[in-house]
Structure 1
Amino acid sequence: MCFRRLWLHASRTVWCLLVFIAPLSTVAAETHAGCEQQFAPRSGEPGKDVMWVATIDEVVTAMLRVAGVTNRDRVIDLGSGDGKIPIAAAKQFGASALGIEYNPQLVQLAECHARVEQVTDKAQFQQGDIFQIDFSDATVLTLYLGPTINLKLRPTILNMRPGTRVVSNNFDMGEWRPDEVLESDVGNTRALLWIVPAQIAGEWRFTEVGGTTSFDVELRQSFQFIEALAARGERLGVREGRLEGNRVELVVLEHQPVRLIGEVSGERILVAEVKDSSVVRRYIGTRR
């Protein structure tokens, strides 16, 4: 009987200790220091495609600002690591954000940080391969991957919705020139911004709205730049062409250069001829 009482007393003591310790360990984990202690691999640890290096906080903010992130955006970070970019997008800008990360330990770390910052309703994380997961719903895509991986992703990125903003920490996209570069004094880094252009290469016929004028042009496209020289018949050349998402601006080489500004809408281009800062004529372009 004495042994039974002693055993029951010891059991109650152990149970009480467990009840007392468990909340303390949970509290410790739900701080940034606790998250780092529990889940964080070392910076520079090799991953599937690149090694993980934490992004400097000031650079995270600069990347999101150069992309013009707002609470209407869907920000997706490829190779999200410790989750800084999705968490900042949610907390600082009110955006919906997703981080895609191959390392499951880093996913746990990012989720822990999101809980600490109380943004789990806006910032989520998914473990997986960035070359296998569909991220086409992003309005802003962020990268810190390296030039080789950027080039491998480039065809997929160029097929995303025109107007999608793409920001890379430090690394370029080869001959696809950025639309804007923001230099940072912190860590000698830079944020490079691209705006995915509409695909309009080919032959087009532009017809005046409410008029009888029409002309044919050939558009040759190199990323966001458009240019083509006249090659036959009545087809006209183009120079100084530029795309910013669906917005297009170009100069048609007619009897005299004609500046057109407009918007790509599916298989049509709606443009207006601009002369002396006033709209003169409107055209609808259709593919031939």
Structure 2
Amino acid sequence: MRLKKSQRAEFFEDDLLEEPAPVRLPSKPFRLLDLPSEIRERIYHFALFTPSRKSALKKNGTVGASAKKSKAFSPTSHRIALFLVSHRIHDEASYYFYSTQIFRLFPVQDFARMPTVRQLPRRHRSSVTTIELILGNSWTAPPRTWTVNQGLGLHDMTLTRTLKVFIECDPSQPIFEGFRISKEYYTEFAGRLMRQVLERLPGLVQVEFDAYPSVHKNGSLMSRLLQETRDAQKKVLWGPERGWVDDEDDYDDPGEDPADAAIDGLRARNPDIDVLTDSLQNVSLEIETVAS
């Protein structure tokens, strides 16, 4: 049915005169702490790990799980604002932050932005659940600061359950002959360091080993580290990069190119060698393509 002009005008006027429904405002403020802990942690995650474009491009080093599993952080001002809300929110948010990160025991030369265990405030060490020891770097002269003492603070890390060990190279291999101090020098250093770390972590449960391709489970360095771990009665796990599994040894293939060990040794001394390695692999692929 078609309305007349006067009827249409009257219809629209009634529509305009009709008042919108009033908006009801909450009578009380929203209380974050009334939410379940799982939802609060999810909110803390968004506040702590929602990066800006610039911070998302920054890498936390290049070696080990602490670099590959690291999350981009929110801007510093956002994190500080969250920590300053109240004492309780500070304690909950800071615990969530420190318990979800992997902190290195000692620094290596790959420009990681995260502090090492020694640099952490003492009050937050008890929140850390996972730490990482990277071995193979500076195999000719380990830094004097790589010592396990009271100042390292391992005795404060009561909630630390997992120690990740990443090995960049094994200097006991023949390819390092003529460059190392002696065949077992670095093996002895790493073994003593491992034993001291295991002795000082009160709640440690497991040790996860991972490495670059040239490192072998039956090699001198890995054999010593595994022995120290088993003597301390800790569970042994295997990381994803090397592909090790239980009850399986990997032996050196007689036809294996020793360049793998050499590249891993160079990578341990200079992380930028990864760029050169990728270039060499691309050249090799091109040569193989042309030859075929």
TM above 0.5, yes or no, is no
Q: TM-score when scaled to structure 1?
A: 0.23
Q: Which protein has the bigger helix share?
A: 2
Larger RCO (alpha carbons 8 Å, 6+ apart)? 2
Q: TM-score when scaled to structure 2?
A: 0.23
